Amino acid sequence: MRNLPLSGVRVLDFAHMMQGPWAAEMLADLGADVIKVEVVGTGERGRQSGTTFLDGISAQFLAMNRNKRSLAVDLKTEAGVRVAEALLATADVLIQNFRPGVMERLGLGWERVRELNPRLVYCTASGYGSDVPDPRKPGQDLLAQARTGTLWLTGTADDMPTPCGPFVADVHAATMLALGATAALLEREHTGRGRLVEVDLVGAMLHQTVQEVVAAVNSGEPPRRSTVPGSAYIEAPYGVHATVDGYVAVSLATMEALADGLGAPDLLERFPDKEAATAGRDELNALVAGLVATRATRDVLDALDAAGVWCAPVNDHQSMTTDPYVRWDRRRLEVEHPVAGTVELVGNPITLDGQTLPARRPAPLLGEHTVELLVELGLDVDELLADGVVEVPADGRAGR
């Protein structure tokens, strides 16, 4: 696809793990030239993250770092900082999620960088933001879920506080960071100046649970989780129910439709309206569970769907790929990685003029583009390599 919206925008990705790198990948998908600025030797921490590795390459790293180039540089040296400053002079956006004070000690904090490049949009991702008792306290997705009440929204009434499966705080924080960066770039067209954009995990988690938080703080009533996995704030039978060969997810439905779909007219007599379904949520869930437990998933879905009940099968990741409403063939991207081989990735959900955003390159090897970028900047490649200031892949894939 030609002429992507952010073509010509250069982003420096100083971030690690998920929140910052994924925000940078979102910008890269939209056409930005994203340069991962990584520490020599090990690279950013995401290269070692997770439990699944493909020929030694972290699957999590592969998932969040496509469409980027990698420059490995020792920022603890004066020469390394000069390399970073040369990059900054060419950049439009910087993304970082180090603990407070790290970038300042490197001479790359907001105040210093805005002097070097007043047009730069400087994006900082953190766990808690700056106005907390100890800004250096470790922040992470699970901890953000725990502090914001989110663990009381997942699972059933009998479960202990339960984390969401995906890293939802990181996901939303990354999305908000990318949104903030693009908004600041748009504003810069009018003002000529950059901005400091800040997003933290706690704020993102609260923003993501806006319905539940507003309900709880204004009513004074804590969430009451259902007897089936679902929502603390929606009446039965909303949630997941077991069948004889799997599970079905039942979403929104009138009681008339539910009774019709399950062939149980007595449900409508017992629960004639939403108020009755809300007050008797536990009883209604138990009745629905009993009605579907002896039936096949496909039979239940067909009957509910015909009656107008919103429902879906509960897929695992393998069955997801064949679900005609998921359309995995349209959601997936495929790249050839020099070490991991052929890798399937999840595509960006944005389409432009009916076309999906392309995977222009796989996640980079550490320092894969060091030489290429130094040449672009007009710096002395041989001297920087000889002094150990920068690094290239040992197998020579960086090229000269």
The residues annotated as belonging to the active site are 170
Tokens 């300042």 belong to 104
Give 347's DSSP letter: P
Task: Decide: 64 and 97 in contact? Cβ < 8 Å.
Answer: no
Per-residue CA distances from 21 to 38, 47, 56, 72, 212 (Å):
11, 11, 20, 15, 28
What ranges make up the beta strands (E) of the chain? 10-13, 33-38, 53-54, 57-58, 68-73, 93-96, 121-126, 196-200, 239-242, 247-250, 311-313, 332-337, 341-346, 351-352, 355-356, 390-391
Based on its alpha-carbon atoms, the radius of gyration of the chain, rounded to whole angstroms, reads 25
What CA–CA distance (Å, rounded) separates 366 from 120?
25
List the structure tokens of 66.
């496509």
CB neighbour class for 353 (10 Å; exposed up to 12, middle 13-18, buried from 19): exposed
Name every residue whose Cβ is closer than 8 Å to that of residue 136 and which is 6 or more positions away in sequence: 99, 100, 101
- Measured in whole angstroms, how far is the alpha carbon of residue 206 from the centre of its chain? 15
Per-residue CA distances from 201 to 49, 100, 140, 208, 362 (Å):
19, 14, 7, 10, 27
